[in-house]
Amino acid sequence: MVHLFLLHEFGSGNPLGLTFVLDWIPFSPYYTLKDSLSLIIVLNLFCYLVFAVPDLLGHTINYEKANFLVTPVHIVPEWYLLFFYAVLRSVTDKLLGFFFMVSSILVLLLLPFILRNVIIKSGNFRP
């Protein structure tokens, strides 16, 4: 709903990042039908995964009997935490590793302020 509201309020962006009023496409029916169709496709895929094949994306190790005395070798962090896991493993000092993790997030938070004065927002002309 937020996506639809923002799309209706500000319009769609373009790859070059340059705005021109005559290039705008009306919100309805184009975006309404496009977003409705994509929502129906995603919900159908989700319902298929949940009701027809719920174990398709699961691990077969989940069906083994648990041994509380031994930690399995295959346990790794989730994909979105692998970066932080690698940072902590590469630095021997815990406090320095924590500092590197926090600084990596701060660099991402400061990036919009660094690129604030760029006229062309697209990466097509800035490889």
Phi-psi region of 23 (alpha: psi -120 to 50; beta: other; left: phi over 0): alpha
pLDDT of residue 120: 63
For this structure, is 35 an active site residue?
yes
Residues 2 and 55 in one domain: yes
Active site residue 94: no
SS3 category, 104:
helix
Tokens of 25: 């496409």
Last residue of a domain, one of 19, 40, 64: 64
What pLDDT tens digit does each residue of the chain (127 aa) get?
887 777 777 666 665 666 666 666 777 888 889 889 999 999 999 999 999 999 898 888 788 888 888 877 777 788 888 888 888 889 989 899 999 999 989 988 888 787 777 666 666 665 5
Torsional sign, CA 74, 45, 7, 14: positive
70 belongs to a structural domain: no
Q: Does residue 19 belong to any structural domain of this protein?
A: yes
Range of the domain at 83: 76-127
- Residue 69 falls inside a structural domain: no
Structure tokens belonging to residue 91: 């630095």
The answer as to whether 88 is a domain residue is yes
Catalytic residue (one of 28, 64, 65, 78) = 78
78 is catalytic: yes
Is 55 inside a domain boundary?
yes
Whether 34 is a known active-site residue: answer yes
